[in-house]
Amino acid sequence: MAGSGASDDEVVFEMAQFIRVYKSGRVERYFGSDPVPASTDAATGVASKDRAISADVAVRLYLPPATEETDGGSRRKLPILVYFQGGGFCLHTAFNFVFHAYLTSLAARTRAIVVSVEYRLAPEHPLPAAYDDSWRALCWVASHAAGSGGEEPWLADHGDFSRLSVGGESAGANIAHHMAMRAGAEPLPGGARISSAVIVHPYFLGAGGVASEETDPAMAQSVVTMWRVVCPGTTGVDDPWVNPLAAGAPGMQGLACARVLVCLTEKDVLRDRGCAYAEGLGASGWAGEVEVLEVAGQGHCFHLVDLACADAVAQDDAIARFVNL
């Protein structure tokens, strides 16, 4: 029995200062799990509030201050960005201080309603739980389309469903891609359609080395190990969930949006996978337009560390222009 206990205490995955996963299934998280309350931000006027979608899924909505009136005297409706936070499918909460600060800032900059999705985390809830939860939240948002007078007035009264985007960073970008793919095969409620996807520093993998992974081999190996922990049934790094370009992955011509913005950074070990995604999307027969923005000299998810730095502002300005088209 002592040997069994020692085995159970074996660490199968660790990211320093963030998470430790034991063979027994015990998980210790050190950063990003404590929620902050919804509020109205004094600096920007962006209001936020939380809604439960189901027993497993919740969202935090962000609403910018009222915009200018149209010629008819009514308020202009706002684009909607359904946002999935990153964290390797196993870290963070949509309600923590990092994402609350970032999405308050992004809602102010984009003048969009942002719906931040709280999905279940692996390894306690292995994939595809995060995908299923995210789809449930996206369908809830879409149910307010077509003048349905849905239950959430911020969406029903202020949302412009002709400008409905999905987006996220890292694992959240991976989720956003799969939501747009699923919406191409399974119509959303209310006749809603996704107009665009914002894919920021995406968590995609693949067999065979790429140059960006060689810049930090330890980190590159860590994201591969993380994938096997969060998706224990995976076929590996060419699993279509994590490599949309893999043989056998659904054809990306089925992506249910007309535009995709892919944001990359020069020093991200995942940079070349994101670049390949953008190139593969353009070559797939998909009829939409792909735009790539690359920030020099920065690393993975740098914008969450310093929201106000010039590069973060430039990236968010690009996102703002994109979701407002």
Domain architecture of the chain: domains with CATH: 1-31 (no CATH), 33-323 (3.40.50.1820)
Catalytic residue among 134, 143, 165, 170: 170
**Lowest-confidence segment of 24-38, 229-243, 269-283 by average pLDDT:** 24-38
Which of 18-22, 148-152, 177-181, 293-297 bottoms out in mean pLDDT, i.e. has the lowest?
A: 148-152
Q: What single-letter DSSP state applies at residue 10?
A: -
Please state the rounded mean pLDDT for residues 18-44. 91
Q: Active site includes 92? A: no
Strands (DSSP E) contained in the chain are 11-15, 19-22, 27-29, 47-52, 58-63, 78-84, 113-118, 159-169, 196-200, 259-265, 289-295
Answer whether residue 83 shows pLDDT above 50: yes
Strand residue runs (E) in 128-224 = 159-169, 196-200
Written as one letter, the residue type at 135 is W
Average pLDDT of span 26-42: 91
**List 100, 144, 201, 300, catalytic entry:** 300
pTM: 0.94
Is 32:18 a contact under the CB 8 Å cutoff? yes
| Residue 178 annotated in active site | no
Taking alpha carbons only, the member of 90, 87, 91, 114 closest to residue 102 is: 114
Residues 262, 263, 266, 269, Cα dihedral to 10°: -70
Please give the structure tokens belonging to residue 104: 């308050």
Model confidence at 4: pLDDT above 50: no
Which of 41, 133, 239, 268 is flagged as catalytic? Answer: 268
CA atoms of 47 and 45, how far apart (whole Å)? 6
Query: Would you say residue 238 has pLDDT above 50?
Result: yes
What pLDDT does 101 receive? 97
Contact 205, 227 (CB under 8 A): yes
Active-site residue flag, 50: no
Q: How far is CA 61 from CA 48, 77, 112, 136, 159, in A?
A: 5, 15, 10, 15, 12
As a whole number, the mean pLDDT across the chain is 93
Q: Please give the Cα distance from 135 to 181 (Å, whole number).
A: 11
